[in-house]
């Protein structure tokens, strides 16, 4: 039996185009940098144009910036168009917190905004990218879920949005696996990003604050999440992995 050809992991994304949302900072920027380092090009999507300009200065011509509000209905189509309708990898990373608001304290604006960014935009981008992946016969989607989809450690809006991300992930994996599409998610614990995580609820601070302080491992650097995302995106290393919600939390989910 012939031996398998060695894989050059330094160029594992050579010739591939990736869309990464929230790419101006944190996990998204670290992921974009890793994909580019390993041979790919990245459509870097973020609301903050200044962050994208700085990212392009750091990462070069393989980063194509697109400053856009992903909650706009037309945003997904515009993002895929920026990729010239060729999408090998989609990383739905952009997300916002909800101030840990419990249901009784929740306002409609927070609910709609958090679900719009964290869940509806994920659905729309998957829906926009999938036809082009299906036409090509392959594609990898990696969604950024959260520890909040495993345990209660956030407000109601954020918790529901990340459970929704898990549902989208599993549904896409089940429906399109035979067409060469893989869809997985990472579930981070605490990560050193600029996503606001202040308590807007005294009740939540009193109830969840001590528990999280006692059980949560040290805050992770974004690069640790980028490694997991790129592993799942890699059609060689993760070829047989589909529909998985992967905790990347230093074991927090088992405590």
List active site positions: 158
What is d(CA 157, CA 74) in angstroms, rounded to the nearest whole number?
24
Q: Bin 29: left if φ > 0, else alpha if -120 < ψ < 50, else beta.
A: alpha
Among candidate residues 173, 159, 175, 193, the one with its CA nearest the CA of residue 238? 173
DSSP string, 56-94: HHHH-TTEEEEE--TTSTTHHHHHHHHTTT--SEEEE--
CB of 151 closer than 8 Å to CB of 253: yes
Please report which helix (H) or strand (E) contains residue 182, including its range. strand 181-188
Q: At what angle do helices 49-59 and 26-37 cross, to 10 degrees?
A: 30
């Amino acid at each position: 039996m012939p031996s398998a050809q060695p894989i050059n992991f330094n160029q594992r994304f050579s010739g591939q185009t990736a869309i990464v949302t929230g790419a101006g900072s944190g996990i998204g920027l670290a992921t974009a940098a890793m994909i580019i380092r390993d041979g790919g090009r990245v459509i870097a999507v973020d609301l903050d144009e200044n962050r994208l300009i700085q990212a392009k200065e750091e990462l070069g011509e393989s980063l194509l910036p697109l400053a856009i509000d992903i909650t706009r209905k037309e945003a997904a189509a515009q993002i895929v168009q920026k990729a010239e309708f060729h999408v090998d990898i989609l990383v739905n990373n952009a997300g916002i917190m909800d101030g840990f608001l419990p249901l009784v304290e929740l306002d409609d604006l927070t609910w709609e905004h958090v679900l719009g960014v964290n869940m509806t935009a994920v659905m729309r981008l998957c829906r926009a990218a999938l036809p082009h992946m299906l036409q090509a016969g392959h594609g990898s989607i990696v969604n950024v879920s959260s520890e909040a989809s495993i345990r209660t450690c956030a407000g109601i809006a954020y918790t529901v949005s990340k459970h929704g991300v898990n549902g989208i992930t599993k549904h896409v994996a089940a429906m399109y696996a035979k067409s060469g599409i893989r869809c997985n998610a990472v579930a981070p614990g605490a990560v050193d990003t600029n996503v606001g995580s202040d308590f807007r609820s005294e009740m939540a601070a009193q109830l969840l604050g001590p528990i999280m302080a006692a059980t949560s491992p040290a805050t992770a650097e974004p690069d640790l999440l980028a490694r997991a995302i790129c592993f799942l995106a890699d059609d060689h290393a993760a070829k047989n992995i589909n529909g998985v919600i992967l905790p990347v939390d230093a074991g927090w989910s088992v405590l």
